[in-house]
Structure 1
Amino acid sequence: MKQPHKLWLRSLLIAAAVSVLTIVLNTLNVFEIFENKTYDLRMANSAKYKLPCDEICLVCVDQESIDWAKENYNWSWPWPREAYARIIDFISAGNPKSLAFDILYTEPSVYGTEDDTALGDAEARSKKVIQTFFISENDYDEPLFPVEQIKENAAILGNITSKKDSDDVIRRARLNYEYNGTVYPALGLAPICLTEESIDYDSIPVLEDGTVLLRFTKSIDDYLPYSAKDIFESYEAWKNGEEGPLSPEDFEDLYVFTAYYAPGLFDICSTPISQVYPGVGIHMTNLDNYLTGTYIKKIPGYVNIIWLVVLALFAALIVALSETCFTRYAAVAIPAGLSGGLVLSIAVPVILFNFGYWILLIAPLSAFIISSLVNIIFSLGAEGKQKRFIRSAFSQCLSKDVVNQIIDDSSSFTLGGKKFEMSAIFTDIQKFSAFSELLSAGELGCFLNFYLTKMSDIIIDEKGTIDKYEGDAIVALVGAPLKMYDHAKHACAAAVKMKKAELELNKDIVNYASNPKPSWMEDELYSAFKILVANNKTIFTRIGINSGEMIAGYFGSEKKKNYTMMGNNVNLASRLEGVNKQYHTNGILISQATRNLLDDDFVVRSLDKVRVVNINTPVQLYEVLDEKSCAKEELIAYASDWEKAMSFFTSRDYQSAKIALSELLKKNPSDGVAEYYIHLLDDYFLKGTYPQEKDNEGVAFNTEDGVFKLLQK
C-alpha cells in the first residue's frame, strides 16, 4: 500500500526540481525560438481584435500609380522628386499633423539638382515633412542621410533602422537612436516630436534594451489607404480650382505616411502576422501603439517564475490526488486533470495577450508537461506497468502514434526541430498580382487550387514535403523528416517537372477556355480560364533551390504546431527564387551547394557569383535547364558552348564574351539570359564601365572580386 505522505513529498520534490530545471533552461534561452513562435501565433490571434488608429493613413506608391504616371506624365521609374513635392504641397494644404516619408533620398536625383531643390522647397513650405535616414547595426558604418537640400528642409529626421529578433522577425521597435551626441526619434514616433513638446516615455512600457513590443492590426491595409495616383489627379484639379477625387481637407489632422507599395519596391519584413510585411507598417504600428496606448506589456520575470512553479505543482497535484484519493479512477482522472492543465497553461497566456500582456507560454507549459510525465513515471513500478499506465492515461486525449512515441522515448514528446542536410524549394508565379486584379476572389481561389494541386503533387512525388503555401507561392523541402542523400537531385527533378507541367497547364487553360465547360469543372474555374486567355495571361513560375544544413521539425504550441524548416540556407533559397527575375532565366536557379550534389544528372549552366540581399557571402548561381536523361543533344551542346562564353566573361575578355553570346543568341533567340549579358556588355563592360547602384540595373559590380551585388530581393 502506498504511503500518502511519501507520495506527496516525492511529487513536491519533482515539481521543485522540474521548476528549477525549466527556469535554468529558460534563462539559457533554450525555449526562445519556440516562445517566439507562440508569441507570433498569439499576435496573429489578437490582431483580429486590434482596431487601427483612425488618425493614421498611408499614401501608397503602388504599381497602379507608377503605370498611371508613366502614361500621363511620361515619368519613368524612379520618379522625379518633384512628384513627391506635389504630394507634399497637396496634403500640406489640408493641415495634416505630419507627413512622414519611408523613402530614402541618399543619392542625388538622377534628374538633376533642381529636382532635389524642388522637393526641399516643398518641405520648407510644409514645415511638417519627416524624412528618413538609416543607421546600420554596425557601429563602423556611416549613417545614410538624405541629400543636403532634402535633409536641411525636413522638419525632422526619423530613423528607420529595424530591431529584429534572433529569428529575423520584427516584434519590437526602437524609440530613438543616438548618433554623434544627437538623439533621433524612430520614424514611427517622429510625428509626436512635431505635435508635442516631447515623447512621454513614462507612458510607454519600455523594455530593458530600450525597445517596445508592438501590437499589430491584422493587416497594414486596415489603415486608411490612399493611392499616389489619386493624389496626382487631385493635385491637378486642386491647382485649377476644380474638384478632384480627393481634397487636401481629407488629410486634416492626420498622421500621413508615404511609402513604396509596388511589388519588388517596398521593404519586406517578417513580422508575427506576416512573413511578407511592408516595412512602413512597422513605423505606423509604432505610432498607433503610442497614440492608443496599446503596446504589448511584458509581464515581470518574477511573475513568470511564479506561473511556471504553479503549473509544475499543479501537474504534481493531479498525479498525487489521482493515486491517493481517486485510485480506482486514475486512468480517467489523470488524463482529464492533465488535459485541463494543458488547456489552462495555454489559455491563460492567450487570454492575457489579447488584453495586451505577454506572459511566457513555452517554459511554463514545458514545466507542466515534464512535471506530469516525471510524476507519472515515478508513480509506476516496473517498466511494463509504466507502459500500461501511460497508454491508459493518455490514449483518451492523444493519438495512438503519439502515445507509442512517448512510451518508446518520453524525451520525444517535445516541440522542436532537428538538423538535416536537405534542399529547400521556393516557387512563385511571376506577376501574379496581374492575375489577382483580373479575377474575383472565388475565381482566384479555384485557379490557385488548380495550379497548386498540380505543382504540389510533383513535389510530393519527388519525396518532397510541402512546408506552406503563401498565396501563389509554394515553400517545400526535400530531405526531411526522413534523411535522404539525393535530396538535391529530387528537388531539381521536381523543379524541372514543374516547369514542364507549367507548359502543359498553359496549353490546357487555352484548350478549356476555347471549348464548352466540362461537366466536372467548377464554373468559377472555367470563368478564370476564359478571363486569363482573353487577357493573354500565362503562368510562369520562378523557382529557387538551395541545399545545406537546415532545421526541420514541429514548431508552434502544444495545441497547434506545424512541420516547417528554418535557417540561413532556407533564406538563401527564398532569395534565389527572386533572382530569376534579374537574370531573365527560364525559371530555375540553384546555388553552388545544390550544384555540387547533382553529379552529371542535369543540364546546368553557370551564371554570376553574386551577393544577394541581406546575405554577404558570395553565391555562385546556376540555372537548371533539364534532366540529362531527357535533354536533347542540342541543349547539351548549347550548355557546353555557354560555359565557354561565361569563361570569357569571368576572365574579363569581354569582346570574346560578346561574340560567343551573340552566337548563342542566334541559336536560341528566346534566351533571355544571353540577352541580359549582351546588354551588360554593350552598355557597360565593353565601354570600360561597370553597373553601379545609381544605374538602376538592379546590380552593382565589384571590380575587385568580380562579384555582382543584387540590389533587390
Structure 2
Amino acid sequence: MLNSNKWLKIYRLIACLLITGLYAAHSSGHFIIPTLSRMENIFYDMRLRATMPNTVDSRIVIVAVDEQSLAVEGRWPWSRNKIAYLMDMLFDYYNVKLVGFDMVFAEEDKSSGLELVEKLADKELKDDANFQMAVEKLKAKLSFDQVFANSLSNRKTVLGFFNSHIEEKYNEIGLLPRPLADATTIPFAQALIEPKSYTGNLPLLQQAAYAGGFFNNPKVDIDGVYRRLPLIVQYHNKIYESLSFAMFRALFDLPKPEFSTNQYGKSDNRLEGIRVEGFTIPVDAEGAMLVPFRGNINSFPYISAADVLNGKAELDQLKDKIVLFGVTAPGLFDSRATPVGNLYNGVEVHANILSGLLDERIKAKPNNAVSSEILTALILGLLAILVFPRVAILTSAIVFLLMLAILVFINGYYWHDKNSDLALAAPLSEFSLLYGVHLFFGFFLENRRKKQLGNIFGQYIPPELVAQMSQSDEEFSIQGESREMTVFFSDVRGFTTISETLAPHDLCELINAIFTPVTKIIHESQGTIDKYIGDAIMAFWGAPIHNNNHATLAVGASLNIIKLLSLLQQEFSAKNWPVIDMGIGLNTGTMSVGNMGSEFRMAYTVMGDAVNLGSRLEGLTKQYSVKIIVSESTKNAAPDFIYRELDRVRVKGKKKPITIYEPIATVDETSEDQRQTVAEVAEALSFYRSQQWGKACDIFEDLQSRYPDDDFYALYLERIDEYRIAPPGENWDGVYTHTSK
C-alpha cells in the first residue's frame, strides 16, 4: 500500500549521492562548477575584508606621479634627467633604502636635443672646433638615459618590465633582468605561467639597476578581480621574478631562493613554496600567491613626486623607507578590480605583496587542501544520508544550523590562525542542498505518507503517533497480521443504574467527561483506541507501531486512569452526579490485528483468544473487588511493577487455568508496607492451595483487620469456610472456575 514511499526514499538517496559526487568532483578539480567558483571568490573576499589589519604600513611609501606632479612638473612622461634627479633626492637627501619602479623605460629619451646637436656636429658644423669641443662637454649632460643610468647605479633600485600573454606576433623589446634560475633544471617549470613576449628596459638602464621584476598580472579570476599575482614566471627556459619579490630580495641582499615541491604525489612536480632565508612563501603550482591586502586603498603613505623633486616632503616621511615609484594621475594609472576595491592602484598591489612578505603574512591553500575538501564533501553527504531521514524536522533544522556553524568556525580557525584558505562555499552549499533535498522529500513528497497514515489510523490513534509513524522506516498496513500485543478493556461499573438517574443530556456529558481524559491517557502512552462500546472502552498497544514495551505502557496507563478517577469524583460531586467506578482488564498475547468487518463497514481492530481473555479479566474485577486485573503474561512482560496475586482461575469458555494479578504501583513507587502485604498474600494463597485452611485463614483475617475496606480478603475467608464444609478433594489444583463472564 505504501510501497511508493520506498521509491521516494530511493530517489532521495540517489539525489544525495549525486550532489555528494558532484561536489567531490568539483573539489578534486575534475569537474569545475563555475557558479561555485564565483561563490568561493565572494566568500574569500568577505573573509579577507573581515580580517585585514586595516592599518597604514609606513615602511613602504608610494611616490606618485599624481595630478599635482603633472601640474608642477609638466606632462608625463618626464625626461630621464628629471627622474634621475628624483633618484638623487630620494637616496642622497631623503636616505631611502630602496626604490622600485612600477613602470618600464623601453624607449630612448631624445627630449634633450642631443640628437640634433650631434647631427649639426656631423654635418654643418663639423669643421667648427669650438662647437665640437662644446658638444663633447654637453654629451654627458644631454644624454638623459645615461644620466638616469648613473642615478640607478650602485643603489638598490629595481626596474619593472612588462610580460605579454596575448597570442600575437613574437616581439621582444629591451633587456630582461638577470634570471632567477634555469628552468631546464627545475621539474615543475612546465606548470609555471609562460609569457608570449616581453617589453623590458633599455639595456643601459637595466644593467645599471640592482635588479628587475615584472609588474603586470595575468592571474585575473573569472569575475575580473585580482586576487593572486605570480611571484615567478618562465620565459625561454629561464625563471624571472616579480617586481615585489625582486624588491624583497634586494632589500635584504637575499640569495637566489629554493623551491618547495609537492611531497604527496608520485613525483615532485608541483610547486608549493619559495624558500628565502628560512621563510617559505606559499604559492600555487603556477607560482602565484594570494595578495595579502592590508586594507582599502591608501593603506600606504602617498607622497607627490613633485614634493620630492622640490624637497617639500618631510624627511621622516621617507628616511629609511622602501619606495615604490608609480603613476596615479587619472587617465595614466593602471587601476585594478580587487577584493577591497574596484578602482585600486596597481602600484599599491605591489606594496601589499611587499608588506605581506615583510610580515610573513601570506595565506595559501594547505598542501592537503584538495584531499581534505573531497573528504569533507563525502562526510557531509554521508551525514545527510544517515541523519536527516531519521530525525524530526525540528531536529534536522538544529543539526543543519549547527553543522553550518561548525563549518564556518573551522574555516575561520584555519583562515585566521593557520593562514590557510580552505573552501567555504562548497561545504556550505553542499550541506544546504542536501538539507533542501531532505526538506523537499520530507515536506512535499513524504507528506503523502503522513496523509495516508492519517486517513487510515487517525481515527484510532493520536496525531502524535501518526507523526511518529510518518517518520519511521517501518511499513504500516491495515491488512490482517498476527503479532504479540496487549489488549485493554474498561467498563464503568453500575452504568445501568447511573443511566436511570440522569437525564440524557447529563448522561452524555458524564460519559464524555470520563472518556475524554481516559482516551488522552491512552494516547499519551502510545495506545490505540479500538472502539467505544456504550460505557466500555477497548484499546490495545503494539499496533500499528511495533513496540516491545506494549505491556509496560498498558499497565502504566491503567494505573494512571485509576488515579484519574479520584480526581473526577470531586468534579462529579460538584455537579451532583453519582459516584463512578471502573474496572480494567489487561492481557498480553498473540492477536490478529487489521482492518476487519464487512464490505459495508470496516474497523481496525484486534481478534483472538488473547483478546477474549482480556475481556473476561475486566469482568472479574468486580468479583475480586479490585480496579485492575492483568494476566500472568502481562505481568511477565511488564516487570517494572509490583503485583498482588489474586487467584488461579478458569474463565468461562477456557479450559486452561491462568494466574491473575492486580498491579499495585511501579517498583520505585511501592512502599515497604505494600511489599509486605503482597508477600503475605502470596503466602496465604500457598496455604490455601495446599488446603491448609487454618494457616491461610489466619493470614487473611489479619490482613482484613488491617485493611477493612479491601473486600478481597473477605472473598477468600468466605471460600475457606465453604471448603471446610465441603473440601475440594485431594487432586484439587487450587484453580477457581468462573461460570459467568
| TM-score, with structure 2 as normaliser | 0.45
Larger radius of gyration, structure 1 or 2? 2
